[in-house]
Amino acid sequence: MLTESIKLQPGCANDVEPGVLSVTDARRHILAELKPVTAKEKLALRSTLGRVLAQDVISPLNVPSHTNSAMDGYAVNIADLTQGISHYECIGTAYAGQPYKKSCQPGQCVRIMTGAPIPEGTDTIIMQEQAEVLPNNIVQFSGKHQTGQNIRLAGEDIAIGKTVLQRGHRILPVDLGVLASLGIGECHVRRRPRVAFFSTGDELRSIGEELAEGEIYDSNRYSLYGMLTRLGVEVLDLGVIPDQPAALRDAFQMAAAMADVIITSGGVSVGEADYIKPVLEELGEMRFWKIAMKPGRPLTFGHLDKAVFFGLPGNPVAVMVTFYQFVQPALHYIASGKPLTPLTLNAVCNQDLRKRPGRTEFLRGILHQTDNAELSVTTAGQQGSGILSSMCRANCFIVLPEDCGDISSGSTVPVQPFACFV
């Protein structure tokens, strides 16, 4: 398919309103103020899955521990083959875990199984498909052979003394396997960041409560719970706090006493019931940002005692967008000391899109791979920042950069697959 890059609207490049921060700048400001968790704990191997290493792991042994056969076949000495010996006497069998202990003499070979140590006097493995077994334990080989073929050398995977995994690395399933192959049963990992969160709003009710007129169920605490749990942080759900300064003050103080990170949703715009701003100004050191993005324009970031604070917007989709763009990279840094920018790929957009230059727009998209392995994307229905159901249908954000205007069908657009957000 013919593709073209996003066209810039003439005269609109970098046209962000004064006093408004770009997404990249906001991410940079946040990162500059974070401190990674340094406390460690020692955990049994299985419990380290998803945790961040607080130590380098040095290999205490060679993997494989001994030079061994990569095939089921016959161990021979290449010199015999070179000298043209055609028939070999098979003198025994080497099994994985049961080495053949005697030495192999000229004109002899040893039957060998995958993983068995290489018998003394041999240096080459011939696979059994190239061997013909004749009467009286005599074996004849066909084909061409090279010294050392089909042999796995001791330490060829991991050499003793090598740094296998580095401090700051997040343990994945493969790492459990690698650590087990080294016989390592426990590791030092960093403490998980503790994240306290609550929703604010007089209109919010919890599941199980009756809804009176004008009330809605609190959904943000649930999507936040899901996103945070997937990240492997310690989650402290402080419930719904009404729009009352005293209640908010208590909730903030409680959260700051127990958490490294506090997240709230709602109350950060400039409505009459938006009390978070005055309470936060009284309790901590806060920045109230307007971000050049849609959805998610108002965002509060700051410090409450030792905790960092994210005041996310109230609209359910804006919560998820700002979480993935700002909070997830921040939590990744706090957990591991490593920065993380959401992975962005390019996809062909299959429809015209309206876009106002001067802000980054995050659209809910459906990404799929075409038969010729191209990525192509369409929007996932209504894009209002309260329409959470279109997030369910989506599997990516279409990220329309700040300086671009309308997109015509067939253009290439950046996308962030949701799979990359964990």
Note the residues at the interface with ligand AMP (CB under 6 A). 199, 201, 203-204, 216, 218-220, 265-267, 269, 271, 313-316
Smallest gap from Cβ 13 to Mg ion, in A, equals 36
Smallest gap from Cβ 220 to ligand AMP, in A, equals 3
Smallest gap from Cβ 266 to Mg ion, in A, equals 4
- Of the pair 289, 397, the CB lying nearest Mg ion is at 289
Partner whose binding site includes residue 315, from ligand AMP, Mg ion, none (CB under 5 to 8 Å by kind)? ligand AMP
Name residue, tokens 């960092």: 308
Query: How many C-beta atoms surround the C-beta of residue 73 within 10 A?
Result: 24
CA 271 to chain centre: 37
Is 122 in contact with 145 (CB distance < 8 Å)?
A: no
> Length of the chain in residues, anyone?
422
Q: Tell me how far apart the alpha carbons of residues 279 and 319 are, in angstroms, rounded to a whole number.
A: 21
Partner whose binding site includes residue 80, from Mg ion, ligand AMP, none (CB under 5 to 8 Å by kind)? none
Partner whose binding site includes residue 365, from Mg ion, ligand AMP, none (CB under 5 to 8 Å by kind)? none
Is 283 in contact with 252 (CB distance < 8 Å)?
A: yes
Partner whose binding site includes residue 220, from ligand AMP, Mg ion, none (CB under 5 to 8 Å by kind)? ligand AMP
Is 293 in contact with 359 (CB distance < 8 Å)?
A: yes
- Of the pair 232, 313, the CB lying nearest Mg ion is at 313
- Of the pair 276, 400, the CB lying nearest ligand AMP is at 276
Nearest to 227 by CA among 322, 335, 339: 322
Smallest gap from Cβ 238 to ligand AMP, in A, equals 12
Write out the H or E segment, with its range, that includes residue 300.
strand 298-304
Q: Tell me how far apart the alpha carbons of residues 99 and 112 are, in angstroms, rounded to a whole number.
A: 9
Smallest gap from Cβ 319 to ligand AMP, in A, equals 8
Q: Tell me how far apart the alpha carbons of residues 267 and 310 are, in angstroms, rounded to a whole number.
A: 12
Give yes or no for residue 298 binding Mg ion (CB under 5 A).
no
Give yes or no for residue 201 binding Mg ion (CB under 5 A).
yes
**Residue 158: what residue type?**
I
Partner whose binding site includes residue 265, from Mg ion, ligand AMP, none (CB under 5 to 8 Å by kind)? ligand AMP
Partner whose binding site includes residue 204, from Mg ion, ligand AMP, none (CB under 5 to 8 Å by kind)? ligand AMP
Give yes or no for residue 266 binding Mg ion (CB under 5 A).
yes
Q: Tell me how far apart the alpha carbons of residues 303 and 30 are, in angstroms, rounded to a whole number.
A: 11
Smallest gap from Cβ 42 to ligand AMP, in A, equals 38
